[in-house]
Structure 1
Amino acid sequence: MAGVFDVIIVGGGVVGCAVIWDMTSHGYKCLLLEKNENLVSEASSGNSGMLHTGFDSSPNSLEIQCIQHSFPRMFDLLKGLGLPYEKNGATMVAWTQEQVSRLPIITERSRAAGISSTTEISLSELYRREPGLSRHAQGALWIPDETVVDPWLTAISMAHDARRKGAMVKTDTMVQSICRADHNQQVHVMTSRGQFTGRVVINCGGLYGDIVDKLAGLQHFSIVPKKGQYAVYPKTAKHLINSSILPIPTDRGKGEIIFKTVYGNVIVGPTFEETVNKRRPGSDSNTIQRLIRYGESRVNGLRGRPIVNTYTGVRPATEIKDYHIDSYPERGWITVGGIRSTGLSGSIGIGDKVRKLVLGQHNVEPSRAKMVELKKMAVKFLPPSHAMVDDVIYTVTHPITLCRMDLSMESRL
């Protein structure tokens, strides 16, 4: 444990995992600190597992920049590590004439953001593609590149590949205080498991990112958490839809989606609910019943089918919709905050941007050789809640992956 790290990353969600993977691959000596017992235990354990193209992101936002940088590279990562994904596309459906009037606006915004493949399709084409949809649709857009992945395995694999390349990952390690030593331009990070020293600290604290920033004497944003609930159907429903069925987005977000996971479960969600609780609450029955009614009103074949699971996620939103990626060279600090529902989609782009800030603004060169090559991982699922990646056992924390593993549940369907 002796020595100084080039970079210390605080937070082991998908963003922290992507940052340590990118930095380590490019030769940086890295340490990741996660306060929970397991990686991917907070916001990243309650997402949808969807890789979004950014079709509805603001054209000049940090979010769209990171997503666009991530998207092609994410497929290189998935293929290189041998991870599951399915590019099944998304169909955005307008159910009223008022919603139909928004389709050209969404198409234009998508093209302004650089996604030229978004196209309006006729109702006959819609029902040819999605025969299981309710016959009340009024119009639709086709977004071909939307993709689903295993969100837990993707994040864990980035952290695991970083470990294979020499990175250190410490869980159950709470950051308690930060001290910058100006005489040698080092940052001392005091934790529940001792002190660690790095040349740059990167705050990927997610839901607690504002609290971590305060430890460094910064307070430029506050986390305003948003809760999302999901209802999960069995794999026997997977034939009912061929793509992810999106509603018309609003200022509040993408809305409640009906989608298949990479393992075939059909999910309805997430909701968008105000909450003051950063800790993930359980699902509530009234909301789940509303999601069931919504799903049945859009996909007729869902009527009467059982729900096999529910789960809830909490997004680390802030007062603004865009990401906060801010560099403070005088403090040896980089903040990555406010990474909302597109954290998985933008994660590789975020890692690339952070690395360029470390080199360009903090003048920290990598102390090791590059190791950007990817090697397929041997993954063995160990029901009910573990997976072995190569020879390391991880606790599975995401319901999408847990549904894939619950063989006894599937045998009852």
Structure 2
Amino acid sequence: MADVSDVIVVGGGVVGCAIIWELTSRGYECLLLEKNENLVSEASSGNSGMLHTGFDSSANSLEFQCIKHSFPRMFDLLKGFGLPYEKFWATMVAWTQEQVSKLPIIAEKSRAAGISSASEISLSELYRREPGLSRHAQGALWIPEETVVDPWLTAISLVHDARRKGAVVKTDTVVQNTCKADHNQYVHVMTSRGQFTGRVVINCGGLYGDIVDKLAGLQHFSIVPKKGQYAVYPKTVKHLINSSILPIPTDKGKGEIIFKTVYGNVIIGPTFEEAISKRRPESDSNTIQRLIRYGESCVKGLGGCPIVNTYTGVRPATEIKDYYIDSYPESGWITVGGIRSTGLSGSLGIADKVRKLVLCQHNLEPSRAKGIELNKMAIKFLPPGHAMIDDVIYTVTHPITLCGMDTPMESHL
């Protein structure tokens, strides 16, 4: 049958970009459909750009499994593509005695998972490593390997490499309906730009993943969006912290982190708030002021320093605190939903799991030769808001990249 893709990926966030890269590299003919004009425009354009080791994730969770598989592979990819990253490590600081009691529990959980060598450090060691911190800390945990990347550039490089290996990407393409006839092996996807046909459809719809699933007659989860806000400081204050300063995590998440981007901006966030809409809201001035006060209480040198930007993100959370990845061979469908704030960290692990589902549960073999080699990319920022990779121009959609565009790439490689 002419013009049939092996796989159609719906959604061009970081997870969709990782999946189309993985499958194209393994020899599948892939098509990516993105409803927005630009890729990486929804949840993935409002994250922190941090690669987490998974030290505080449940060892039995799918999230943890994907992060654990993804983390070592991500460094090979970053080096192979020539992308910027920095291992700034992380320091979890307890500001009260009640929080101190949780440090050994977190450290033991991390060691038991075998993914991080987190260890308690003395206050004298804390202030030796982080002299810019306020002097009311009560305890600390040192967490190696926590890393920051350019989250937009990482996602875009994945889809760009998939394209140069033969993948097709269509933006401004809204999926409107799907159908799979019982008598054949094809799934028809009706969109605002016509019909596309594939053997397997992968739903990476992010914030709209539950809506996309309904088009296939599935309804196993609902998106319950959570809003996060960030305050961004100039690069002139980057000397104030040497690692990412983490709070003690709660049931809601990792909490509000003080961290440096790969380009040197200092950021405080994200918050964890109920979101009324799946659309990205504006920053709230009261919340931003609270973030500023929190930053000044933790890092003394931030007092009086003006912020240069704010931004928000919306997480595609579900009713459960884990990823939802499942396969429906009878429908020619794979759902990748509930990929919360760790989507960047777990993206390559998610992509590998999806590849195995395509191969083993859908019995779909690659239709061409593999192309798993990693080739360095020629990347050039084009202010005020574009980047050229090789000879293709992309619109930058992430504030971290936009704030860092005046920093030479070479200084981070």
**After TM superposition, is the score higher than 0.5?**
yes
Partner Cα separation in structure 2 for residue 406 and residue 215 of structure 1: 43
CA contact (8 A) 2:116 2:144 kept: no
Given residue 196 of structure 1, which amino acid in structure 2 is its aligned partner? F
Partner Cα separation in structure 2 for residue 87 and residue 406 of structure 1: 21
Name the SS for the 2:217 alignment partner.
Answer: coil
Q: Alpha-carbon deviation of 1:405?
A: 2.1
- Quick check: 1:281 aligned with 2:298? no
User: 1:254-277 deviations in whole A, cap 9, x for unaligned?
Assistant: 000000000000000000000121
Other-structure match for 1:411: none
Q: Alpha-carbon deviation of 1:406?
A: 5.6
Other-structure match for 2:154: 154
How many equivalent pairs are there?
407
Q: Which runs of 4+ in 1 moved over 6 A?
A: none
- Quick check: 1:201 aligned with 2:179? no
- Quick check: 1:270 aligned with 2:287? no
Residues 225-244 of structure 1 correspond to what in structure 2 (within 5 A)? 225-244=225-244
User: 1:61-91 deviations in whole A, cap 9, x for unaligned?
Assistant: 0000000000000000000000000011000
Partner Cα separation in structure 2 for residue 220 and residue 148 of structure 1: 33
CA contact (8 A) 1:247 1:256 kept: yes
Q: Alpha-carbon deviation of 1:115?
A: 2.3
Other-structure match for 2:348: 348
Structure 2: segments with no counterpart, 5+ residues: 408-413
Other-structure match for 1:298: 298
Partner Cα separation in structure 2 for residue 25 and residue 357 of structure 1: 16
Root-mean-square deviation (CA, aligned residues, Å) is 1.0
Partner Cα separation in structure 2 for residue 68 and residue 344 of structure 1: 12
- Quick check: 1:259 aligned with 2:259? yes
Partner Cα separation in structure 2 for residue 73 and residue 406 of structure 1: 29
Residues 11-410 of structure 1 correspond to what in structure 2 (within 5 A)? 11-405=11-405
CA contact (8 A) 2:50 2:345 kept: yes
User: 1:34-76 deviations in whole A, cap 9, x for unaligned?
Assistant: 0000000000000000000001101110000000000000000
Moved more, 178-187 or 224-233: 178-187
Q: Alpha-carbon deviation of 1:33?
A: 0.2
Structure 1: segments with no counterpart, 5+ residues: 408-413
TM-score (normalised: structure 2): 0.98
Q: Alpha-carbon deviation of 1:306?
A: 1.1
Q: Alpha-carbon deviation of 1:2?
A: 4.8
CA contact (8 A) 1:187 1:199 kept: yes
Cα 1:2/1:304, change in 2 over 3 Å:
farther
Partner Cα separation in structure 1 for residue 392 and residue 366 of structure 2: 27
Partner Cα separation in structure 1 for residue 126 and residue 51 of structure 2: 22
CA contact (8 A) 2:53 2:116 kept: no
Q: Alpha-carbon deviation of 1:171?
A: 0.4
Given residue 223 of structure 1, which amino acid in structure 2 is its aligned partner? I
Q: Alpha-carbon deviation of 1:25?
A: 0.3
TM-score (normalised: structure 1): 0.98
Partner Cα separation in structure 2 for residue 368 and residue 89 of structure 1: 41
Partner Cα separation in structure 2 for residue 164 and residue 135 of structure 1: 52
Moved more, 300-309 or 104-113: 104-113
Q: Alpha-carbon deviation of 1:404?
A: 1.1
Given residue 117 of structure 1, which amino acid in structure 2 is its aligned partner? S
Partner Cα separation in structure 2 for residue 169 and residue 276 of structure 1: 31
CA contact (8 A) 2:116 2:143 kept: no
Partner Cα separation in structure 2 for residue 116 and residue 37 of structure 1: 39
Q: Alpha-carbon deviation of 1:222?
A: 0.3
Partner Cα separation in structure 1 for residue 204 and residue 276 of structure 2: 20
Given residue 192 of structure 1, which amino acid in structure 2 is its aligned partner? S
Other-structure match for 2:411: none
Name the SS for the 1:18 alignment partner.
Answer: helix
